[in-house]
Each structure stands twice: as structure tokens, then as C-alpha cells.
Amino acid sequence: MRSALARIGVAAAAAALLTSCSGGDGGTKEPEGLAAAEACGGFAKEEPVGAALKAVLGGDRFDDFYSKSDEALARLREDAAAPWADSYRPQRVTYCGLRLAEGGGQNSLKIEVAAVGKGPYLGPALAPKVTSYASGLEAFSSSGLGKLYFTCRMKPPALEIVVETAVWGPEDVPETDLERRTRLITLANAAARQVSAKLGCQGDKLATGVPAARS
């Protein structure tokens, strides 16, 4: 009897050890990083934007990469608080920084925001090299960099400002990749919409979903 009880005890101990090693779930490992809907405050929670984020970075789980969203919003509020001196140069702040969570190499994405002066922002020399989109005041993108500008009128006494949203994707993408251009401007537009909502901007004229390319 004592021998039988000993064998049962050994078997139970072995089972407990195996369970602890496997996490108690049959060996299933929790995915690392953030899902697209969780990244940077959920700016990519809508599927067209989430799909663009996954395609640009080449995966579906992400790590935050030096995002400073609160600092970026505070700087925009500061820039809207008073007229600028001629010598003032607004500082760009990384609103959202992301990279692949696992096995992603150097793939990373950066979205910066800043208050800027009046446009136009797309000069004649650059215009033939980018695709323009219908969102905000101006929106255009190459295959590596997208920029979007929108007007933000916050509650008085804040002054009206123009906000530039710039998105940098992974390098070494052919300039002929027109789908990449649309994905980048989709991400810039989604981030701009989130910024506008958090600041309480009026009259931003930002598109929903995927901005349409201008002919």
C-alpha cells in the first residue's frame, strides 16, 4: 500500500512539473508585443488602418518605439497659445513610434506631429515625385515618407494652427510602390484624426479610412 501511494505521489509531482513548464495551457505561448488595435492608443484599430500598419511593417505584433504622444499634444497646445515670433521654429515630436515585436529586424515606423506655418506645402519640384491625396489641407506621399496637413481650431483663447503629420516607413522601398504610398498616407491620416480628436480641433477636413488619391 505504501509503495502504491509513493508511486502516485511521484506521478502527481511529475504532472505538476510539466504543467508549470508549459504554462498550464498545453505549451501555447502568449504572443509578444501589441496588436494593431492596441498600438499608439489605438489609432489603427479600424481595419483599413490596421491592415496598412501590418503591411508596412511586415507583421502583426508591435513594440512601442519611443512614442511621446502626451508630449506631442502638449507641444501643439503650447504652439496654439500665442502668436509666434518670426524666429520661432516649432519642434517636431514623435507621436507614435513602432517596430516589429519579434524577428522583425530593423523594420520600424515613426509618426511625428508639429505646428507649421501656412502653405502651400508641396512645391512644384516635388509634386511629380509623389502621390497627392484628398484629406485635410494637403496630403502627399512617396514610398518612404508621407505628409499630411490639417487646420486645427481649438477652443478660444487658443489660436488656429496648421498641424503637419509626417510618417516615415521602413527604408529600401522602391519609389514605384504606389500601394506603399497609400498605406503611409492612411497611417498619417489615422494619426492626424486621433490628434485632432484629442485636441478638440474643429474644421480639420480629414478623410475617414483610406484617403482617395487625387488624379
Residue-wise pLDDT for 72-94, tens only, equals 999 999 999 988 888 888 889 99
Number of neighbours of residue 206 by Cβ within 10 angstroms: 22
Say how many residues make up the chain. Answer: 215
**Taking all residues of the chain, what is their mean pLDDT, rounded to a whole number?**
87
At 135 the pLDDT is 98
pTM confidence score: 0.85
Cα(126)–Cα(120) distance, rounded to whole angstroms? 12
At 32 the pLDDT is 84
Cα(1)–Cα(46) distance, rounded to whole angstroms? 64
Look-up of cell digits 502651400? 120
Residue-wise pLDDT tens digits, 96-139:
999 998 765 678 999 999 999 888 899 999 999 999 999 999 99
Cell numbers representing residue 121 in the block: 506645402
Residue 63 pLDDT class (50, 70, 90 cuts) = very high
69 exposure class (CB count in 10 Å sphere: 0-12, 13-18, 19+): buried
| Residue range 56-62: mean pLDDT, rounded | 93
Cell numbers representing residue 213 in the block: 488619391
| Residue range 170-194: mean pLDDT, rounded | 93
Query: Given strand 212-213, what is the order of strands in its sheet?
Result: 62-64, 93-100, 108-116, 161-168, 145-152, 138-141, 131-134, 212-213
